[in-house]
Chain A
Amino acid sequence: MLQKRGAIEIQFNWIFILIIGVIILGFFISIINKQKTIAEDQISASIKINLGAVLTGSRASAATASRINIPNIDIIYDCDGYIVGKANAIRAKTSFSPELIKGPVIMSWTHEWSMPFRVTNFLYITSPFVRYVFVNIGSVAEEVYDIMPNRTIIDHGEVKAFFTKELVESADILNLKDQNHYKVRFVFFGGTDPASYPLPKLGGVKRKDYTAVRINANSLQDIQGTGELVFYEKKGDRFEETAKSVFIGEASAIGSIFTDDPETYECNMQMAFNMLQIVNTIYWDRANMLKSHYQTATDTNNCQIVYTNADSFFRSINQSARRFTPAYASSLKSAADAVMRINEDTLQRSCPAIY
């Protein structure tokens, strides 16, 4: 009897140990999972804060390029900004990037957008693992290729990959070899139809990451004006047109090279237009105040006339900058060019410049 009781007690002991063991194990596993989630969120937040600060600093000066080391994570980009992990998006107006940027290094470059006065610096962010192929048709391709950042940069005394660009003849497109990039972007110029070229097989690149843009310009001067943009995506072994838009100014045309999503491009250009309205309002009011000053002060150089002439063009800029469309872009450029000519006039007359 006593032996039977002992045997049952041992069995209960083991069951008790098993249950407690499972509870303790489950407890520690849940702690580990929670800690893992917290650590990932902390990393995302930390990257977001530091990246945001770096982007602010980068944007402060025009025509500057920098190589930024980040953890080996993916950054998603859309109109809301840059999204790192689960952190809120880093808002970055007038910023042009591919939809997906892979670490551990990113490249940032800024270019001033003036219409005709400086409105903002456009910020371009990409990765050296994105390949940009400029198709050499006409002289403009080479000129734009030379404007783009260098392929390498000297970082702490070492030469490192910076911006992966190449200039290829149209006949050599099919001979391009896969170099293990996750994204490839072709850039065409002028009236050439990208859909007429058979595409090379680049195994590592997904269909949506194999894109092109055609910038309808035949010279650098055309790029500094306005023109049509056409976006393409790979379908089968050819490009297929997906969207059309317009560029206005060199910075905007360059933005279309970096942004593979036409909606994101248009969203950023609309933000640029909104900022233009603000800056234009200030310059307009400033011109009016200068005009008022010369109405009461001695005006030997006839400065008043110049500021009066500019009035209608400032109004035109504000009206044209309400919506980013090809028609408005064209009228905006005309008004901006007129303000630029009037500004030259003020300088020749030794009057305070309009901008």
Chain B
Amino acid sequence: MFESIAVLIIFFFLLSFGFTFYGKMQQISNMKKMRQATEIDTVSLAIKTSNLAELQCSIKNVGEPNCYDWYKIKAFQHMLQDSENNEFLTDHYYQKLGYSRIELNIIYPDHDSILLYNRTRDLAEGGGSIVTLMPISVYNPTDKKHRFAYLNITYYSPE
């Protein structure tokens, strides 16, 4: 009888050891998947940002890829600056762009930096950030000139 109990004790000990090991492996695998998901989210954000109809250059609805219209940028800035009491607007862009920071940096022929969107996550809660840089051209329709720029897109991940 006591032998049986001893065998059972050893059996359960081995079982718990096995489950602890398996749990650890699952945790590592899940962290890998979450990192992958974060990378996918980052790419999605970059695609959404570069295809915003409200910023993209266009003539008669034919959009020009990798180009932002200067006056649209200014109008977009005005709109978001006045959006503090506009719950719909903040909610709309939060759903679209999430926790992220989108900055347009003009590098040639002049230098300028324009903050397009900023909604940071409280980093004290944990999580990290991934930065994506995307080259873009800024077109001024009044002088019909392009400027070189890049988008600095920072995605704040939950983990």
- Is chain B a partner of chain A in the same complex? yes
One of B48, B53, B60 near A353 (C-beta < 8 A): B60
Interface centre among A9, A279, A352 (most CB of B within 10 A): A352
In the complex, whether B44 has a CB less than 8 A from a CB of chain A is yes
Pairwise interchain contact B78-A285, C-beta atoms closer than 8 A:
yes
With known contacts A56-B48, A278-B54, A289–B79 Cβ distance under 8 A:
no
Indicate with 1 or 0, residue by residue over B75-93, a CB within 8 angstroms of chain A CB atoms: 1101100000000110010
In the bound complex, residues from chain B placing their C-beta under 8 Å from that of A233 are none
Pairwise interchain contact A53-B40, C-beta atoms closer than 8 A:
yes
In the bound complex, residues from chain B placing their C-beta under 8 Å from that of A305 are none
In the bound complex, residues from chain B placing their C-beta under 8 Å from that of A285 are 74-75, 78-79
Indicate with 1 or 0, residue by residue over B56-83, a CB within 8 angstroms of chain A CB atoms: 0011110100000101101110110000
Pairwise interchain contact B141-A352, C-beta atoms closer than 8 A:
yes
Q: How many A-B residue pairs have CB under 8 A?
A: 87
Shortest CB–CB separation between residue A314 and chain B, in angstroms? 12
One of A50, A56, A119, A352 near B142 (C-beta < 8 A): A352
Shortest CB–CB separation between residue B66 and chain A, in angstroms? 12
In the bound complex, residues from chain B placing their C-beta under 8 Å from that of A20 are 8
* Residues 17-51 of B contacting A (Cβ, < 8 Å): 33, 37, 40-41, 43-44, 47-48, 51
| A279 to B51 alpha-carbon distance, docked (Å) | 13
* Residues 73-107 of A contacting B (Cβ, < 8 Å): 91, 93
With known contacts A56-B47, A114-B61, A120-B53, A297–B142 Cβ distance under 8 A:
yes
In the complex, whether A355 has a CB less than 8 A from a CB of chain B is yes
In the complex, whether A274 has a CB less than 8 A from a CB of chain B is yes
B47 (CB) vs chain A CBs: closest residue: A60
Pairwise interchain contact A286-B58, C-beta atoms closer than 8 A:
no
Interface centre among A93, A274, A289 (most CB of B within 10 A): A289
In the complex, whether A282 has a CB less than 8 A from a CB of chain B is yes
Chain B contact residue count (CB 8 A cutoff): 33
Interface centre among B58, B63, B75 (most CB of A within 10 A): B75
Pairwise interchain contact B75-A355, C-beta atoms closer than 8 A:
no
| A279 to B1 alpha-carbon distance, docked (Å) | 80
Interface residues on A, range: 35 or more
One of B33, B44, B76 near A56 (C-beta < 8 A): B44
| A352 to B51 alpha-carbon distance, docked (Å) | 21
Pairwise interchain contact A13-B1, C-beta atoms closer than 8 A:
yes
| A289 to B69 alpha-carbon distance, docked (Å) | 13
In the bound complex, residues from chain B placing their C-beta under 8 Å from that of A347 are 60
Pairwise interchain contact B47-A57, C-beta atoms closer than 8 A:
yes
Pairwise interchain contact A274-B88, C-beta atoms closer than 8 A:
yes
Interface residues of A (CB under 8 A from B): 9, 13, 16-17, 20, 42, 46, 49-50, 52-53, 56-57, 60, 91, 93, 112, 114, 116-120, 274-275, 278-279, 281-286, 289-290, 293, 297, 343, 347, 352-353, 355
Q: Which A-B residue pairs are the 3 nearest by beta carbons?
A: A352-B141, A285-B75, A286-B71
